[in-house]
Structure 1
Amino acid sequence: MKRKMMAFLLAQLLVFSFSIACFGASTLPPKKQTVLAKYVTAKQAYEKYSQDPANVKILDARTIGEYVFVGHAPMAVNIPLKFLDRGLTDKNKPVMPTNENFVSEVTKRFKKTDQILVMCRSGARSAACVNLLAKAGFNDVYTITDGFEGDKDDQGQRTVNGWKNSGVPWTFKLDPALVY
């Protein structure tokens, strides 16, 4: 009996460890982790959307310029978390003020009970969006961890994963009903 109990406990530990390794936030950089701990890759997001397009919503939180000029998922609603402003910061980064109306704009487009999959360029802004939306009472919000453009390869190019690199549909065609 003692052997069976030990084998059962060991099996449970292995299942738990495998779950954490494959699906847990511990594999994500801290800037991509959220308070809701709901994560999907771009490919998984498209599969989720394809299975239930009436109830799964895709939110693209990139700037209007990124959405228009880099491309976007054809069904993605664009509500930017940040705007691109003129100039550079003292760290040579673009000036990007926060969209103070982000949560109210999302609330106008989506119900708090909707399943929303949030995308940005590579997963950090979408995580920030999920945290803001969770604070506002949205509970079924996932971050698309690899974003639209994906992670950087060894040469610093965004060719690793991401919506654009995963073989799922994307477009430059603009639908006025979806653009911010």
Structure 2
Amino acid sequence: MSGQYKGDVSPAQAWDLLSSDENTVLVDVRTLAEWKCVGEPDLSSLSKNTIYIEWVSFPDRAPNAHFMSQLMQAVPNKDATVLFLCRTGVRSIAAAIAATEMGYENSYNILEGFEGDADQKGHRGRITGWQGRDLPWTH
């Protein structure tokens, strides 16, 4: 099943899954710098917490060698629906593939990521992505 994962969902579909299924979790694979400087998804209205596991580290962008062990610790139920989120939906695909290969068969990538596409002035988080689609987030 190499190179495969369950599929892609829009930010709104991700929110719906998180809202309707208690076994759905959100794993944000961005870096600590992104979480602190850009913002974080806010799942408090759903009585859930975002799981934070870097796919790569900042600033050297080295792969997180402990990603899978951290995921297994944070999400012991391999039957859970796992939604992966990054800045624009690229690192999260790699994370979903890796998770699927480790037995998390319900791994999804969130299209557009947290910040989404840049607007005409080059700013992200305004037109697409978790932020641009006005889903709950904190800074």
Give me the TM-score of the superposition, normalised by structure 2: 0.86
Higher strand share: 2
Cα offsets for 1:76-97 (capped at 9, x unmatched): 1110101113xxxxxxxxx311
Rounded to whole Å, the distance in 2 between the matches of 1:37 and 1:135 is 11
Counting only pairs closer than 5 Å after superposition, residues 117-136 of structure 1 correspond to structure 2 as: 117-136=83-102
2:76 maps to 1:102: no
Question: % of aligned pairs identical?
Answer: 31
SS of residue paired to 1:105: helix
Counting only pairs closer than 5 Å after superposition, residues 18-167 of structure 1 correspond to structure 2 as: 35-52=4-21, 54-74=22-42, 75-85=49-59, 95-110=60-75, 111-158=77-124, 159-167=126-134
Cα offsets for 1:126-171 (capped at 9, x unmatched): 0010111111111001000111001123333223310011111111
Tell me whether 147-156 or 98-107 shows the greater mean CA deviation. 147-156
Task: Report the Cα offset of residue 125 of structure 1.
Answer: 0.3
Code of the residue aligned with 1:104 in structure 2: it is: S
CA RMSD of aligned residues (A): 1.4
Give me the TM-score of the superposition, normalised by structure 1: 0.68
Corresponding pairs, count: 129
Gaps of 5+ in 2: 43-48
Gaps of 5+ in 1: 1-33, 86-94, 173-180
Q: Which has the larger radius of gyration?
A: 1
> Which structure exhibits the higher relative contact order, with contacts defined as CA atoms closer than 8 Å and separated by 6 or more residues?
2
CA contact (8 A) 2:6 2:107 kept: no
**Following superposition, which runs of at least 4 residues in structure 1 exceed 6 angstroms of deviation?**
none
Task: Report the Cα offset of residue 43 of structure 1.
Answer: 1.5
Code of the residue aligned with 1:99 in structure 2: it is: N
Cα offsets for 1:25-44 (capped at 9, x unmatched): xxxxxxxxx61251111121
Higher helix share: 1
